[in-house]
Amino acid sequence: MPFKIVEGDITKLETDAIVNAANNTLLGGGGVDGAIHQAAGPDLLKECINLHGCETGDAKITDAYNLPSKKVIHTVGPIWRGGTNNEPELLKSCYEKSLNLAKENNLESIAFPLISAGIYGYPKDKALEIASETIQDFIKENDMDVYLVIYNHSSFHLNKNLKENLEEYIKENLNKPDYLEAASFQREPNLQAVRKKIEFEEYEIDDELKKKIQNRGESFSEMLLRKIDESGLTDPECYKKANIDRRLFSKIKNNSDYSPSKETVLALALALELSIDETNELLEKAGYSLKSNKLSDIIIRYFIENDIFNIFTINEALFYYDQKLLA
């Protein structure tokens, strides 16, 4: 999973690099800065002194000393002053400069804290949006595992509108009779009825239904490959949109006996922007289904029904509700 939101203490992560939300002096401070210096030991400060500070929005790299990671990338986020002092651009630059520095140093994994979202007062939902968008743009073009580390769950804020709409939808649909089963029940008799009519040559059925009958016998991977083909996406476009790494995708594509997790099937269905019905059909072929007594399935149904297929947006919502992330 090239981009993952995790909860924890960044100083404990064994990624190639961890990013420090520093200040312009690079001489340590509170928050994550203090925690990183504390865990790395005094040699980190000695190296930082020789860097002679860092501009806001810029990034510099040092060794990690007693930390489990190999490198520390120090970046200085903007102090929030209402949002009209170039804060979004400077914050975006922190992520871009840090990611490019990791790439220049041939690092394969990097972990970020939510830069500026603590002492520097950046509104957490806005900080998350910039972090998520900038990381997504980078991993579209680069193979690197990127983690966004949330120190305490309470500091994780969803977009206000999204949160209200989701709460409403969950209240209306969680643990309601499984409308999907009813739908598949609906689907079944139609096909039986149609099959009967076919025998008596009495039918005029539309292409959609004809295609459904033809495709009923296909396996999970056959349906997946057909849907990728119909979507016009290349394989890399598909697995990057699904936030799946190349190796896993080729395993799914080349080994028809491989059974992917439900989260991976859903990630692929979202990447292909399948309807609820097609999503459930793809799930059924892999041995799963969307359940109305599962909060994560209700959350995913909300996004599909609202034509929101961005897996990172959906993962933020799943993370917010303490659910397993997709892919």
Q: So which residues are the catalytic ones?
A: 33
- Using CB under 6 A, which of the segments 27-35, 162-170, 236-244, 276-284 binds ligand APR? 27-35
> 127: which 2 tokens?
């900080």
Contact characters 137-166, ligand APR, x per CB under 6 A: ------------x-x---x-----------
- Closest approach, Cβ 156 to ligand APR, in A, equals 9
| Candidate residues 1, 5, 10, 266; the one interacting with ligand APR per rule CB under 6 A | 10
Other C-beta atoms lying within 10 Å of the C-beta of residue 54: 19
In the region spanning residues 96 to 135, those forming contacts with ligand APR, defined by CB under 6 A, are 113-120
- Closest approach, Cβ 314 to ligand APR, in A, equals 22
> Under the criterion CB under 6 A, does residue 316 sit at the interface with ligand APR?
no
> Under the criterion CB under 6 A, does residue 11 sit at the interface with ligand APR?
yes
> Under the criterion CB under 6 A, does residue 248 sit at the interface with ligand APR?
no
- Closest approach, Cβ 10 to ligand APR, in A, equals 4
> Under the criterion CB under 6 A, does residue 68 sit at the interface with ligand APR?
no
> Under the criterion CB under 6 A, does residue 295 sit at the interface with ligand APR?
no
* Buried/exposed code over 286-302 (b: 16+ C-beta within 10 A; e: otherwise): bebbbebebbbbbbbbb
| Candidate residues 31, 53, 88, 123; the one interacting with ligand APR per rule CB under 6 A | 31
Q: For binding to ligand APR (CB under 6 A), which residues are involved?
A: 9-11, 21-23, 29-35, 77, 113-120, 149, 151, 155
